[in-house]
Structure 1
Amino acid sequence: MAFVSGPVPERFERDVTASPAEFERDLRKASPCTVEAVGPDHFRLCAGPTRLDIHLAARGARRLGLLQLQTLGVRYEFSGGTESDRRALLVLLDRAMQRGGG
């Protein structure tokens, strides 16, 4: 996950290295509210006035030598709330879903 810098738009996409099952597990652990599975690879979070829909799309694997990492395209779509509401939710999710490395 990338940490937020600048205003948080209502819609944006990221590439993440995780399987759909790993992403869902980490999302459920990180979320301050209930995570609803709306459909296959579609999740919804409602935190106060802010709703966040997350859509996953498999993007194949990245190889680094013998290491192979699954990659997902993740589309975030916010509705309701203010930019600061979006930022607060996204920062919380980013910090909790941060993976090791470095």
Structure 2
Amino acid sequence: MQGHYPAEFHREQGFTEADWLTCLPGAVRGCPLAITGPGRATVQIGAGTLQLAWQVRPPRQIALMRMPVLATHYRFDGVAEADRQAFMKFFDLYTQRGGG
């Protein structure tokens, strides 16, 4: 989990697309969520929005272990910094996978 979340950033996450889509409704904590196209979603946060975009990447392999990779892009528009930080803190805790 990060300590600060800029208005726009990229990251790689260990999700399949199916797992990501299953997880998103809970991760947005009741904020209106719309899947706007393949690999795209919009989350309404107060008067602003979070635009999400993702692409499936080849899995990472270490010895016999294979881990899915989803390249994600986050862009907040019109969301105050304090609201962005609070939203992402919950989002990251909700989507945290293994290992603490």
1:12 pairs with 2:2: no
Q: Deviations over 1:21-64 (max 9, x none)?
A: 11111111221212210000101111212310110012211012
- Determine what percentage of the aligned residue pairs are the same residue: 28
Of residues 58, 61, 67, the one that matches 2:59 is 61
Residue equivalent to 1:37: 35
Residue equivalent to 1:82: 80
- RMSD of Structure 2 on Structure 1 (CA): 1.3
The structural deviation recorded for 1:17 is 1.0
Structure 1 length as normaliser, TM-score? 0.89
Q: Deviations over 1:8-28 (max 9, x none)?
A: 211100011111111111111
Structure 1's unaligned 5+ residue stretches are none
The aligned amino acid for 2:8 is R
Structure 2's unaligned 5+ residue stretches are none
Q: What is the rounded CA distance, in whole Å, between the counterparts of 1:91 and 1:50 in structure 2?
A: 17
Structure 2 length as normaliser, TM-score? 0.90
User: What is the number of equivalent residue pairs in this alignment?
Assistant: 99
